[in-house]
Structure 1
């Protein structure tokens, strides 16, 4: 499926990407035995027995930085829930768009093997069993990223990248020292040197922590 774009008026009464998408993936429709959707305003007991109610319900969702939407969604058949699966939507949120189209999204489920794999743990924990290879691979990537993202980078820690990194000033190297600058993290060349470099998505990069021998003062 391609991108679907819309102005804010088309999102009404929802004012955020998350609220709109939660609503899009929570619904119930009635279908005839031939698979045709029945045009009815509500599901009621007067429907023929051979008709079926099918839909979806969002259990939990997150729209990270208004760029990627993740949700655990259960399929419903006559009100009975099936195994939850993951929905992933790419999101474009531009409240000041000059053309008025402030919101766009492109949806897929985990069986499409989404490239985005920063799904929160609370959503992954709700997913049901699957034997789909693409979905299993996506879940493994997401779990691996959770482990990577929880690595703590402490001030003074020495790290070694798996491959040399080259910076715009010409310096190229693999070993650096972490320098914490408030919420930001920078890299220094030596234990006592100044912070010189910043690397995007540092926590996700392949690196190892270099053990450091600390010499304690002798006490008599």
Structure 2
């Protein structure tokens, strides 16, 4: 996929480019859409009436003369690397027979099903099972002295990295 560049026309109140509006202006037939970070996801109605997914990856150059917006279009049939499509976009899509598109949709749905443990505040308590068949552990999100990030700790003081918590099965017991 080729990167293209355009001068941003739509502006937010703070003067920066409104990336979501820029992407909506470039795409036609949008049924549902959302900007997630710097990636724009859209459910687009084709001329034959089918609805498919389009991913627009963007880079906004704030230091350019007028704020250049770099972008590239990646259809779901190309199996985009970005798999953060929101539920409203995925729910608007028609069924597909394309294996790349089906795999991409499955990755997006799996990502939506994962608990967002990184955004839980210190003091949150969860029950966690690393692998089926192992006993559950009770973990508490804790901020350790000298560390910028919070960590998950078991009652014995052992530290479990965030990535391991995401890979396991999580049930939230109490939110902080």
TM-score (normalizing by structure 2):
0.70
Aligned partner of 1:53 in structure 2 is none
1:13-41 deviation per Cα after TM superposition (whole angstroms, max 9, x unaligned): 89411111112111xxxxxxxxxxxxxxx
Task: Indicate the SS of the match to 2:150.
Answer: strand
Give, in whole Å, the separation in 1 of the partners of 2:164 and 2:23: 29
Pairwise CA distance, 1:177: 2.5
Alignment of 1:74 onto 2:45: yes
Taking only aligned residues, the RMSD between alpha carbons, in angstroms, comes to 3.6
1:102 aligned to which of 45, 54, 68: 68
Larger radius of gyration: 1
Task: Indicate the SS of the match to 1:125.
Answer: helix
Would you say the 8 A contact 1:177–1:187 is kept in 2? no
Task: Indicate the SS of the match to 2:73.
Answer: strand
1:90-169 matches, within 5 Å, as: 90-94=57-61, 96-149=62-115, 155-159=124-128, 161=130
Aligned partner of 2:139 in structure 1 is 177
Seen in structure 2, the aligned counterparts of structure 1 residues 191 and 123 have a Cα distance that, compared at 3 Å, is same
1:187 aligned to which of 123, 134, 151: 151
1:124-172 deviation per Cα after TM superposition (whole angstroms, max 9, x unaligned): 111012111100111111111111146796823253557xxxxxxxxxx
Seen in structure 2, the aligned counterparts of structure 1 residues 203 and 74 have a Cα distance that, compared at 3 Å, is farther
Task: Indicate the SS of the match to 1:134.
Answer: helix
Task: Indicate the SS of the match to 1:157.
Answer: strand
Would you say the 8 A contact 2:141–2:153 is kept in 1? no
The gaps in structure 1 that reach 5 residues or longer are 27-56, 163-174, 213-220
Alignment of 1:84 onto 2:51: yes
Structure number with higher relative contact order (C-alpha < 8 Å, ≥ 6 residues apart) = 2
Aligned partner of 2:35 in structure 1 is 63
Would you say the 8 A contact 1:149–1:203 is kept in 2? no
TM-score (normalizing by structure 1):
0.58
1:170-211 deviation per Cα after TM superposition (whole angstroms, max 9, x unaligned): xxxxx7823167xx98224442759x7874xx598312349x
Seen in structure 2, the aligned counterparts of structure 1 residues 97 and 73 have a Cα distance that, compared at 3 Å, is same
Task: Indicate the SS of the match to 1:116.
Answer: coil
Count of paired positions: 156
The gaps in structure 2 that reach 5 residues or longer are 132-136
